[in-house]
Amino acid sequence: MKALIIIAQGSEEIETVTITNLLVRAGIKVTLASVDHLQVTAARGLQLTADALIDDIPSTDEFDVVVLPGGVKGANNIAQNDTARKLLVMRHERRQLIAAICASPALVLQKWQLLNGYHATCYPEFMNELPHYLADKVVQDRHILTSQGPATAAELSFAIIKLIAGELCAEQVAQSTLFIEPDLN
């Protein structure tokens, strides 16, 4: 199982690190790919190191999911990257799993017209950008998962894990990280 997380200067660090951490705990190999530099300064100044540049990723076919963290600056930087756009459009056309959180559903997916006819959520500040906005913490509509922001990153992660590694794996990771109480019986 593999996941590609696309980051950029200004990506939201809570979302990036939470999603990466929980997916890795589920046994999913995560590749952080940056649209600009291997060394990325996140939204609040945390330094992140990407595994690769997005231009060096040959195809998203090998990935079970492609994830877009938010952060306004990060989302705008991803939205300006033609390689990221081509990869996401191809995945959308093939109905392959895409996940986006915070500003990215509105500033990336909707900008690229990938949410037309899809229910989605995002950071509430951008709700008017989405044609079929739902106020839920996580929304799945077919092959697209969206979520609201930093406080919902774990919920999005568990939804991704459930889809690609199974419900039991998602529950085990949630219990081991105390997002849900362990069954001590």
Q: Enter the tokens of residue 160.
A: 């991704």
Based on the residue annotation, tell me whether 169 is a catalytic residue of this protein. no
| Residue tagged active-site, from 35, 87, 102, 114 | 102
Q: Fill in the DSSP letter of residue 37.
A: -
Three-class SS string for the chain? CEEEEEECCCCCHHHHHHHHHHHHHCCCEEEEEECCCCEEECCCCCEEECCEEHHHCCCCCCCCEEEECCCHHHHHHHHCCHHHHHHHHHHHHCCCCEEEECCHHHHHHHCCCCCCCCCECCCHHHHHHCCCECCCCEEEECCEEEECCHHHHHHHHHHHHHHHHCHHHHHHHHHHCCCCCCCCC
End-to-end CA gap in the chain:
31
Q: Which residues are catalytic?
A: 102
